[in-house]
């Protein structure tokens, strides 16, 4: 979801593959960087950050999440996520609502707000067990300076050894 052009009116392609099969794909290149580095632009914003992300599905049916998790935390909603260390892609944030303790593949009790501090390299790499077949569309509802047109379409993730502070 989002406009097919960026702030200065440059047309964006329908898709820019940032990662393909676990390897670096294309980079986001703004018109300014295009001129500076003599490379083709793909209509990225001046900040050269994604505005609409889509992550492919995994193999785990959503109906099998609890039995595959068996024991641990089921986190149904992240309230916010901020980078705590950009170089290591470390993120911190809080859960909000829908966090439960699981035993034997069954919800046992709700868990209060939990802070996490984890790196995407571990969560989407060595600690990733699987992702759900189904993906959720998440529009960015931000309105700080103007209405956001960003969005994400993401699967759920089954991750082992996820660092939380309770």
- Asked whether residue 46 falls in the same domain as residue 56, the answer is no
- Asked whether residue 135 falls in the same domain as residue 145, the answer is yes
Q: Is pLDDT above 90 for 58?
A: yes
- Asked whether residue 125 falls in the same domain as residue 63, the answer is yes
- Asked whether residue 2 falls in the same domain as residue 14, the answer is yes
> Rounded to whole angstroms, what are the CA distances from 140 to 21, 47, 72?
26, 17, 29
- Asked whether residue 34 falls in the same domain as residue 56, the answer is no
Q: Which residues pair with 151 in a beta bridge?
A: 52, 139
Q: Is pLDDT above 70 for 1?
A: no
Q: Which residue has the higher pLDDT, 85 or 97?
A: 85
User: How confident is the model at residue 155, as a pLDDT?
Assistant: 95
- Asked whether residue 85 falls in the same domain as residue 103, the answer is yes
Q: Is pLDDT above 80 for 121?
A: yes
Average per-residue pLDDT in the chain? 88
Domain containing 19 equals: 1-50
- Asked whether residue 62 falls in the same domain as residue 41, the answer is no
- Asked whether residue 59 falls in the same domain as residue 135, the answer is yes
Contacts of 152 (CB under 8 A, 6+ apart): 52, 53, 54, 55, 137, 138, 140
- Asked whether residue 42 falls in the same domain as residue 116, the answer is no
> Rounded to whole angstroms, what are the CA distances from 117 to 90, 154, 160?
7, 20, 14
Over residues 11-26, the mean pLDDT reads: 86
User: How confident is the model at residue 101, as a pLDDT?
Assistant: 94
In the chain, how many domains are there? 2
Lowest mean pLDDT among 7-21, 68-82, 106-120, 135-149: 135-149
Q: What is the CA radius of gyration of the chain?
A: 18
Give me the residue label for tokens 């809080």.
94
Q: Is pLDDT above 70 for 9?
A: yes
Going by pLDDT thresholds of 50, 70 and 90, the confidence category of residue 7 is confident
Element at 33 (helix H, strand E): helix 31-37
- Asked whether residue 129 falls in the same domain as residue 151, the answer is yes
Element at 66 (helix H, strand E): helix 65-69
């Amino acid at each position: 979801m989002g406009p097919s052009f960026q702030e200065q009116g440059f047309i964006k392609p329908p898709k820019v593959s940032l990662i393909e099969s676990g390897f670096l794909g294309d980079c986001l290149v703004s018109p300014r960087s295009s001129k500076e580095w003599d490379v083709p632009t793909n209509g990225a914003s001046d900040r050269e950050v994604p505005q609409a992300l889509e992550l492919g599905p995994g193999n785990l049916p959503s109906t099998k999440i609890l039995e595959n998790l068996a024991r641990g935390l089921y986190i149904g909603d992240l309230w916010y996520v901020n980078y705590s260390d950009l170089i290591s892609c470390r993120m911190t944030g809080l859960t909000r609502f829908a966090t439960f303790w699981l035993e034997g593949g069954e919800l046992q009790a709700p868990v209060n707000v939990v802070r996490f501090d984890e790196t995407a390299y571990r969560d989407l790499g060595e600690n990733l067990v699987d992702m759900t077949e189904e993906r959720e569309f998440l529009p960015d509802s931000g309105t700080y300076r103007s209405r956001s047109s960003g969005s994400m379409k993401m699967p759920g993730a089954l991750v082992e050894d996820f660092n939380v502070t309770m």
